[in-house]
Amino acid sequence: MRLATTLTAALIGLPSAAWAQGPDGATLFARCAACHLPDGAGVPGAFPALRAQVGRYAAVPAGRAYLVSVVSHGLTGAVAAAGMVYSGFMPAQTLSDEEVATVLNHVIHDIAAPGSKAAPFTGAEVAALRQGREGASAQDSRALRPDDLAVDP
């Protein structure tokens, strides 16, 4: 009986312990998947695919700043992806620094380019990239886009 009570107490504690670590990237990406689809394929003409370009952006400092800005401040303005031009609007996501890092890592390493050599984002890096940009807009994010990386491979 004592062992059963101990095991029950331990199992009851697991969900709260897991929640304290925060949601995983796939869970956070669910909000993105509404438009970009669960596999990041996007919807041609409406929402760009994430697979082709996000890994390239994550590999260079300017691209990393752009990705953090897009998640944090949204994106508006024409962008080219996979041979199409998109002129929609992506709303800003209200996420902590750690959550932004987690969702970007999920996209980069699990969706865009499994096995990507791009360094994982950290909460500290996201915080540094957000610093001084508190009032940035979706248009400001577009201005950060390194267009030389936007070419299809």
CATH topology of domain 25-146: Cytochrome Bc1 Complex; Chain D, domain 2 (1.10.760)
Band of pLDDT at residue 50, cut at 50, 70 and 90: confident
pLDDT tens per residue, range 53-90: 888 889 899 999 999 999 999 999 888 887 888 888 99
Partnered with residue 89 across adjacent β-strands are 76
Partnered with residue 80 across adjacent β-strands are 85
Distance (Å, whole) CA 47 – CA 117 = 26
Query: Cβ(138)–Cβ(78) under 8 Å?
Result: no
How many beta carbons lie within 10 A of that of residue 102, not counting itself? 25
Residues 109-127 have a mean pLDDT of 87
pLDDT for res 66: 95
Q: Tell me 133's DSSP state.
A: -
pLDDT for res 88: 85
For helices 61-73 and 123-130, what crossing angle results, to 10°? 80
Of the candidates 99, 107, 97, the one whose C-alpha atom is nearest the C-alpha of residue 129 is 97
Band of pLDDT at residue 3, cut at 50, 70 and 90: very low
pLDDT for res 15: 38
